[in-house]
Structure 1
Amino acid sequence: MERRGNAGEEQGASEGAFDGAPNAHVTIDAHGVVTGWNEGAETLLGYSSTQVTGRSAAFLLYEEIDERDLLSRSRMQRWNGRVVVRHRDGRRMEVEVLAHRRVADDGPEWFLVSRLTGLRPRPSDDALARRHHEQVEAYSMSVYDTGLRLRGANESHNRVIALPEEDLRGLRPTEMIDNPETAKVERSMQQVLETGEPQFREIYLILPGESREHAWSVYITPLLDEDGRIQGVGVAGHDMTEQYWARKRLMLLADASTRIGSTLDVTQTAQELTDLAVPEFADFVSVDLIPSRNSTLPRGTAMTSGSVALRRIAYRSVNPGSAEGLGTAGDVDTYAHGSPLQDSLSSGRPLLHHFADDPLITEGPTGHPAQAAGIRDRGVHSMMTVPLTARGTTLGVVVFARHRHPEMFREDDLVLAEELVNRAALSIDNAQRYTRERGTAVTLQRSLLPQRLPDQAAVEVASRYLPADDRTGVGGDWFDVIPLSGARVALVVGDVVGHGIHASATMGRLRTAVLTLADVDLAPDELLTHLDDVVARLSNELEDTPRADSGTESTGDTGATCLYAVYDPVSRHCTLACAGHPAPVLVTPDGTVSLLDLPVGPPLGVGGLPFEATDIELPEGSLLALYSDGLIESRQQDIDDSLSLLCQALTGPSVPLGALCDTVLTTLLPEQPTDDVALLIARTKVLDTDSVATWEIPADPAAVAPARKEAIAQIDVWGLENAGFVTELIVSELVTNAIRYGDPPIQLRLIHNGNLICEVSDASGTAPHLRRARTFDEGGRGLLLVAQLTAAWGTRQTTEGKTIWAEQTLS
């Protein structure tokens, strides 16, 4: 008895001694020296702080710790266990120690926490725990028996259900709240009873008396008696609505960064915004833009009076195909002063509208009673209007509306809507800028290309030009058909490196250069040599020009390829030269198709390397197809396969050249090519022998008169008597000059191809000059008369010498 009494006294003394005292806290540095000692440690072991601090902790141990065990513990971040220590009075004590490894200013140290071993729970502890469960605000806690009937709940649970516990006791969860989500919880409770394993669920439901959907995390545990038998289940629910919506908002913003702005199309970008927001965030979303770029509003522009017109470019509703009575895509509405959309535009701020007590419900957002009726019919209860603003300019406004979603928009929804719209605004502004720049580039490109192909008798031609897709941008491909002297024609296809306005402008300069050089009647290889110099000068010019956007110098990457061919319908000869360009395809009248084997010179702008011309004879009716590399180069198809398809398309049934061009493009290209494409197809013609007359002229001045007679006789045969006087003068002047200043052999040729062409050739390379004779000069007026009486005249160099020609237009 006495022993028990002493034990009871010791226990009671122990509890009384330590209930009010703090736990023991001790800190020990990496060298095992005690650096901290609190009042609890002093109460536990009897040493004061001054007696322990600064000494090795080893003196406190009653029994040494095994070295391997100590090394193992030193590597842990935290450990706990029993340690045998020596009280100040010499007693042996076992204490429970929880040790934490932490980093201090002077390096690592250990923080030890201990309480008296054997401290037992008090009878009042259970009551304390019950009061906690009953009074905790953050969790709805309830207890159910094996029949899933409520046996007890805390105050938070009763507030959630909106009924006192007396009215709920004995009810199952599905009897308290009739909702599919509650049925899920009840099924999980049954599983806990059957398996004894805890269950976790997330449920989403609208509580009684509320309109907003709440998100709940529910944890269900089995309740066991002393023998481990299940006596019921406990349910703890936490309302995580705010965290749930915060997570949803973050996910929505994350989706916005990847789903909005996938293209540079304004309408598509706006539609991506509406698709993102419906139905997760709103029941209806529309994007309305100010129709004209000139009518965009600077940020903060006040619209204190009047109205604003907006064009709807995209919308989406939870009701497929419905615009909720608020207008459809393509509609232009005028929004009256005081309407939500006009208010947002005038203030430059996002606005929140609740229609329950809003006078707008009788007028509609545009001031139209019809739209107000649509709002009422759909039951739209709240709406947000957010200005679509980018780079200091207001582009339009975005409308978010709810009618199926029971919860009205709130201020935090307005913040999210503004963030979504801001992200979309940059993409829409980029798309608008790109669309304008692309439109400018396409317009420039098309204006620099031939508006119509010239009339000539050498070939029948058809052409096509396709700009690249929106992502790649307009390039610098071009083609041309240039009438030359002697009824000949030049066929040109070229391609400037790069895309955009710069490429289009460079293309225009090169096309002009080709036209100028062709007018001089240069041979194809000579023309490309001069064009190579032009490109090199343009490249040097670009290197010395600072960029407008960055102030840095340009990289000077101007370059181009070109194919230049000259066809003579009299001789049926075609001379071609190539500067890094794809070789043309030739289809002869018998159906033979071949890729012409031309010497491929370097691209234009490389400089220093020669170009070589190739001369071939073409049968009448041959097809010659010239094209840029965009026609045959594709990521989806090997270039050899593309060339094979091109040859097959050109050897199909005989069709008009325009239809043949379309067939080629359809066969080789996707709906929107990734690079510019220029295509020029020519079918060769041959002038009838009856349309050409040729004479060899002796190098004797006496031969001039017979030459005139032969020429007059020939034009009489052609029925061109009215051209006799001018023809006689031209023949006389050109033949006389050839005899006097040229070298034999001398040849006179007349060509009738709708116009009348007179050509005189000789073996001299010296070209005549047009000059004005002075008053008393006896000569020097011949070429001046020829120039005045003809539509055109000129000189071209040949391999044997030169040819002087003059062309009359026959009315």
Structure 2
Amino acid sequence: MSTSSRSEEASPAGRPVVFLLDEHGTVRRCGGAVTDLLGLGAGEIEGRPWSEVCAVEPSPGDGPDGPGDRQRSLVLRHRDGTPVEADAEVVPLPPGGPSGRLVLLTAAGPRGARTHAVLRGVFAQEAAGLVVDAPGPGGRVLLSPAFFGLDQPLGGDPWEGRLEDVLEADDAARLDACLRRVRETGEPFADPTVPARGRGLPGRERIVAVSAFPLEDHRDGTHGAAALLVDVTGRNADQRELTLLHASARRLGRSLDVTGAAQEVVRLLVEEGFADLACVDLTDPVRHGGDAGTFVPGTPLHRVAVASEDGSWPSDIHQLGDRVRARDVESEAIGGGGTAVVPDLALLRRRLDSDPERVRLLFPAEAASALFVPLFARGHVLGVLSAWRREGRTPYGDGDVPQVDAIASRTALSLDSARRYTRERRTVEELQRSLLPPPVSRTTAARSSGVLVPAGSAEGSGGSWFDVIRLSGARTAFVVGRVAGHGVHAAGAMGRLRSAVQTLADVDLPPDELLGHLNDLVTRMGGDEVHRPASFSGSLSAATCLYASYDPVTGLCRMATAGHPAPLLARRSTGGVTRVDVRPGPPLGSGDHQPFEAAQLSLEPGDVLAFHSGPSDAAPSDDAGDLRLVAESARAAAADDEPLEDVTGRLLHQLRARPRAEDLTLLLARVDRLPEEDFACWKLPADPDQVVRVRGLVTSQLARWGLEEASFTTELIVSELVTNAIRYAGGPIGVRLVKDERLICEVSDPSQSQPHLRRARLSDEGGRGLFLVAQMTDRWGSRYTPEGKTIWTEQTLAPPEAPPP
């Protein structure tokens, strides 16, 4: 067999063989395809002198121990005695460890030469690199010099050193951990995106695809590890751009809150690696849902969203919530609509260091490059999107502009939609609030405070309402309800229902009768809604309402409900909170003509009634929490005399802490009693002689109150009303005089007939009594009672005279 044929046959694939020689030329370790090349096992070769392995004794300068070239051809001795030609690569072991040589052999001939050429070619590549990690001191490895930006040795030989000498510390540690894992487990490993920033190329990002595999021999398993690195920076950048654009299409536009939409885009830019720092500054009108207006130099902006790669926002620039004013140059750039690219912030900072405010606006100390993108929508500037990259990252350039412009365009449309939605929602809330009474009401009967807790969206607003109505006889009515539907139409329907309740309250009907008339009215109105378009989202049908009236003289509260939940009652004397036991009737306009039932309870001064607009069927799990907060607030309000507006203010803050599907109205009322010295009551038989007596009683009472100037008018009113009661109704007759903010006179009789005011003719002898009463009073009227009716009048009291100086 010829030498060449032996070499081709022994190693048909040109697989390498590795020999480790000590300083005396003795083979200490060998591995690879040694059996295929020489027909001997590793155990038969290790420990033998290198001269016994070679068939032809090399000259002193040509052997592996000599000082000759690192690449040469050798003739080895096969087991059967035939010579084997091989190409040899001789590499001295690195200093600091054992002395010796590493000899890499491949069979000579076309295949062996080709294998050797492939290895040289791999080590000489710039787009692909090879790292060979074999156990040894100092963590030194063999590297492809061209790939790592090193001076390439003669012939493209590998460079021997440490990973941290050629890569940034974090990247070197990551790649070293990969090689160590392969070396320890013996299992290959692959990662398509590994950072590999070179120390010789500062500021340049580089991403490599790593394919690591073990180096083994047949005797003791894993001997080392190698990794093939392929530069995929460009491909990875394209993929990141597609990923970012896809994420922007998926994430932007989901929020209908202006601040939420701004926060989403800065989070997107940071999480997807496009920026290390990002913020959005918006004009004040846009932030509040108004029109953008014209952007001029000095237009104030508000920093509404920030995001940072490490979670901390730099302290040397404007913070979240700060007001920002762009200077002339920046304002003109923003108004021009073009994206401003600053690839080198350090250069620009040196030019602007004399203007600290401008530096605070544009330049975080840790940033190296920046992009400033105006947010345009419908021809108006909504604000500015700013992004920064730190040192060590590829600076922003013109190639980033199309990508950030696409994201800014989506962001601007999202912000504009959120702005328009905010304006619509605010319109609904303002309309709803304008149809509600003042939040704080003070009467002799009670102190009350009401709040509107808006829904999380415009679709959930517009249906809840409350009211506080002054009734005759120093009494007060508390009303709370909800109409079906949402939005502007529901707010309008709520206003119609509130007006209807106020009109019926003026008739001074008992709560159950009032709801009966209200139900009839809503039923008639429901016939008109059949012809309205489907988009009409407010309806009086199925509306709920609770009506309660409280008398501070007797301390009695009567209430009835049409499908509305009962209020909570917090007792000052016991500190307990209970639900008022009132039987609910059907909702208004439901077609159920079942009569409403009234409940009556006695209240003491300081007791608190907590009315609410009812649990929401859309979010029953939240209702328990809402009612628990309402109960705690009612208990706190009943415990002391803290102003109710403070209590409801805290409650509003708690209820607005989480979004809700529907709005909610709350009304807290702390009741009081009229002091006994401020009212007087008399029972009279149906006897004309009692008219003179009652006039005397009234005069005496007014004198005790110091209201002598009202005696003549009040005597005339009482005598006229008592005379009419004796003449037309019979007895017993009740007379009640109340000193409140006004002087109230009430005459009760057992008749259910209503008096009517009429203008008497000149020839009539009677019929002028009620006309005179109406002329002498500010208000008068009558109300039905279970025992008959009560006619009442109110007179304005003269303000007390100021004491002399």
- Give the alignment's TM-score, normalised by structure 1: 0.69
* Matching residue of 2:500: 513
Aligned residue for 2:640? 655
> Aligned-pair distance for 1:320?
6.9
Q: Does 1:172 align with 2:172?
A: no
Report the CA distance between 1:546 and its aligned residue.
3.8
CA contact (8 A) 2:285 2:292 kept: no
Aligned residue number for residue 339 of structure 2: 350
Q: Which of 735, 738, 746 lines up with 2:725 in the alignment?
A: 738
> Residues 574-604 of structure 1: CA distance to partner in whole angstroms, max 9, x if unpaired?
3221112222344667637653322210122
* C-alpha separation in 2, matches of 1:613 and 1:764: 23
Q: Tell me, what secondary structure is at the counterpart of 1:378?
A: coil
Please list the CA deviations of residues 44-71 of structure 1 after superposition, one character each: whole Å capped at 9, or x if unmatched: xxxxxxxxxxxxxxxxxxxxxxxxxxxx
Give the one of 314, 322, 325 matched to 2:305: 314
Moved more, 626-635 or 681-690: 626-635
- Given that 1:649 and 1:663 are in contact with CA atoms closer than 8 Å, whether structure 2 keeps it comes out as no
**What SS class does the counterpart of residue 146 from structure 2 fall into?**
helix
Which residue identity does 2:195 align to in structure 1? Answer: Y
1:521: how far off? 0.9
Shift of residue 786, structure 1, vs aligned partner: 1.3
Structure 2 unaligned spans of 5+: 1-108, 799-805
Taking the TM superposition and a 5 Å limit, the aligned residue runs for 1:456-495 are: 456-457=443-444, 459-468=445-454, 470=456, 474=461, 476-495=463-482
1:143-158 to 2 correspondences below 5 Å:
158=146
1:282 to 275, 289, 300: 275
Indicate the residue corresponding to 1:681 in structure 2: 669
Offset at 1:295? 8.5
- SS of the aligned residue for 1:784 comes to helix
Report percent identity of matched pairs. 35
Change in 2 beyond 3 A, CA 1:733/1:228: closer
Closer, same or farther in 2 for the Cα pair 1:682/1:192, shift >3 Å?
closer
Equivalent residue letter for 1:510: L
What's the offset of the Cα at 1:252? Answer: 4.4
Task: Name the residue aligned to 2:195.
Answer: 204
> Using a 3 Å threshold, how does the CA distance of structure 1 residues 249 and 793 change in structure 2: closer, same or farther?
same
Q: Is the 8 A contact 1:316 1:323 kept in 2?
A: no
> 2:190 is aligned with what amino acid?
F
Shift of 1:332: 3.6
Aligned residue among 558, 561, 571 for 1:578: 561
Contact 1:792 1:806 in 2 (8 A): yes
Amino acid at match of 1:678: L
2:280 maps to a residue whose letter is V
Change (3 A) 1:593 1:312: closer
C-alpha separation in 1, matches of 2:700 and 2:222? 128
Distance 1:778 1:374 in 2: 89
Indicate the SS of the match to 2:342. strand
Partners of 2:792 and 2:309 lie apart in 1 by 77
CA contact (8 A) 1:360 1:372 kept: yes
**Equivalent in the alignment of 1:291:** 284
Distance (Å, rounded) in 1 between the aligned partners of 2:393 and 2:215: 38
- CA change 1:613–1:720 in 2 (3 A) is farther
Indicate conservation of the 8 Å contact 1:466/1:677, yes or no: yes
For 1:613 and 1:403, the matched residues in 2 are separated by 73
Asked if structure 1 preserves the Cα contact closer than 8 Å seen for 2:343 and 2:397, the reply is: no
Q: Secondary structure at the match of 1:388?
A: strand
Deviations 1:761-788 (A, max 9, x none): 3343332222333455444433222111
Residue 222 of structure 1: CA displacement?
6.3
Greater Cα shift, 513-522 or 380-389: 380-389
Task: Tell me which residue corresponds to 2:90.
Answer: none
Tell me, yes or no, if the aligned pair for 1:152 and 1:165 is still in contact at 8 Å. no
Distance change (3 Å), C-alpha of 1:312 and 1:663: closer
Q: Structure 1 residues 133, 772: closer, same or farther in 2, change over 3 A? A: farther
Once the 2 structures are TM-superposed, how far is the Cα of residue 519 of structure 1 from its aligned partner? 0.8
Residue matched to 1:29: none
2: distance between equivalents of 1:145 and 1:645? 70
Is 1:691 the counterpart of 2:679? The answer is yes
C-alpha contact (below 8 Å) 2:582/2:599 kept by paired residues: no
Q: CA RMSD in A?
A: 4.8
- Cα pair 1:350 1:418 within 8 Å, conserved: yes
In 2, Cα distance between equivalents of 1:322 and 1:644: 36
Letter in 1 for 2:318: G
- The equivalent residue for 2:207 is 215
Change (3 A) 1:151 1:808: closer
Amino acid in structure 1 at the alignment position of 2:597: A
Deviation at 1:706, TM superposition (A): 5.5
Query: For residues 205 and 541 of structure 2, what CA distance do their matches in structure 1 show?
Result: 62
Conserved 8 A contact 1:260-1:424: yes
1:613: which partner in 2? Answer: 597
Matches within 5 A, 1:62-461: 140=128, 158=146, 161=149, 163-166=151-154, 169=157, 171-172=159-160, 174=162, 177-180=166-169, 181-182=171-172, 185=175, 198-201=188-191, 203-207=194-198, 208-209=200-201, 211-221=203-213, 236-252=228-244, 265-278=257-270, 280-293=273-286, 308-317=299-308, 323=314, 326-339=317-330, 342-343=332-333, 345-355=334-344, 362-363=351-352, 368=355, 370-372=357-359, 378=365, 380-390=367-377, 393-451=380-438, 456-457=443-444, 459-461=445-447
Could you tell me which residue of structure 2 aligns to residue 73 of structure 1? none
Q: Is the 8 A contact 2:485 2:537 kept in 1?
A: no
Distance in 1 of aligned mates of 2:746 and 2:226: 112
Task: Quote how far apart the aligned CAs of 1:390 are.
Answer: 4.5
Distance 1:778 1:464, change over 3 A: same
Contact 2:167 2:197 in 1 (8 A): no
TM-superposed deviation, 1:397: 1.1
Moved more, 395-404 or 762-771: 762-771
Task: Report if the CA contact (8 A) 1:522-1:796 is conserved.
Answer: yes
In structure 2, the partner of 1:756 is 743
Aligned equivalent of 1:562? 545
Query: What's the CA shift for 1:481?
Result: 3.2
Q: CA deviation at 1:524?
A: 0.8
Pair 781,506 (structure 1): closer, same or farther in 2 beyond 3 Å: same
Give the Cα separation in 2 of the matches to 1:356 and 1:286.
17
Partner of 2:757: 770
Alignment partners' CA distance in 1, 2:572 and 2:226: 93
Q: TM-score if structure 2 supplies the norm length?
A: 0.69
Contact 1:543 1:553 in 2 (8 A): no
Shift of 1:440: 3.8
Q: 790-799 vs 306-315, which deviates more?
A: 306-315
Distance 1:383 1:194, change over 3 A: closer
Q: How far did residue 186 of structure 1 move?
A: 6.2
The correspondence of residues 719-738 of structure 1 with structure 2, limited to 5 A, is 719-738=706-725
| Per-residue deviation, 1:636 | 5.3
Question: Do the aligned residues in 2 keep the contact of 1:601 with 1:611 (CA within 8 Å)?
Answer: yes
The 5 Å alignment of 1:6-25 reads none
Task: Give the drift of 1:178.
Answer: 4.9
Change (3 A) 1:481 1:657: farther
Q: Structure 1 residue 687: deviation in Å?
A: 5.4
1:373 offset after TM fit, Å? 8.7
Residue 792 (structure 1) shift: 0.8
The letter of the residue matching 1:487 is: A
Q: Does 1:783 align with 2:770?
A: yes
Confirm or deny: 8 A CA contact 1:260 1:427 kept in the other structure.
yes
The Cα of 1:793 is off from its aligned counterpart by 0.7
Task: Report SS of the residue matched to 2:318.
Answer: coil
CA 383–292 in structure 1, closer or farther in 2 if over 3 Å, else same: same
In structure 1, what is the Cα distance between the partners aligned to 2:214 and 2:573? Answer: 92
1:240 CA displacement: 1.0
Q: Residue 124 of structure 1: CA displacement? A: 6.4
Unpaired runs of 5+ residues, structure 1, are: 1-122
